[in-house]
Amino acid sequence: METYLALGSNMGDSLGYLKQAIEKLNDHANIQVIDKSIIYETDPYGDVPQDNYLNAVIRVNTDLSPHELLKVVNEIEANLDRERLIRWGPRTIDIDILLMGELEMDTPDLIIPHKEITKRSFVLIPLKDVYTKQHLLGKTLDEWINESGNADEVRQTNESWD
């Protein structure tokens, strides 16, 4: 199933954490990384003082169920020293499941499409690099980006996946 994951990091070697997360995802027998967005620098979200983030979105194919994928994502975050100490706080790596095909679900531990997807330009702008459809939840990505009101907080970097 075509799936989109958002990645973010603002602690230590942020680019290294993004690359390691992608490598670990791609090493999983049931996940194939198909495409990667440009790497963006973004202002932190929320009220916690912290460094800027490096953000990206990747497109993967997987036959895992949403909860199986969530388990894999959480294991990768833990292996990359992710600690959940402060809501919207700094992190070595954050991996969010944004979309899984046309699936819609709302459980206590997982909501797909991601409940904040249309409000966050740091997700929408990199998603635009790899998204294969014209519309998301009834609007174009450009419409959602314009409505988010925070597109100016997202800047393309000179960082590379190479």
Strand pairing category for 105-107 and 110-112: antiparallel
Distance separating alpha carbons of residues 35 and 30, to the nearest angstrom: 16
Note the helical H segments in the chain.
14-27, 66-79, 121-130, 141-148
Strand partners, 58: 5, 36
Catalytic residues: 82, 91, 94, 96
CA–CA distance, 64 with 43 (Å, rounded to integer): 32
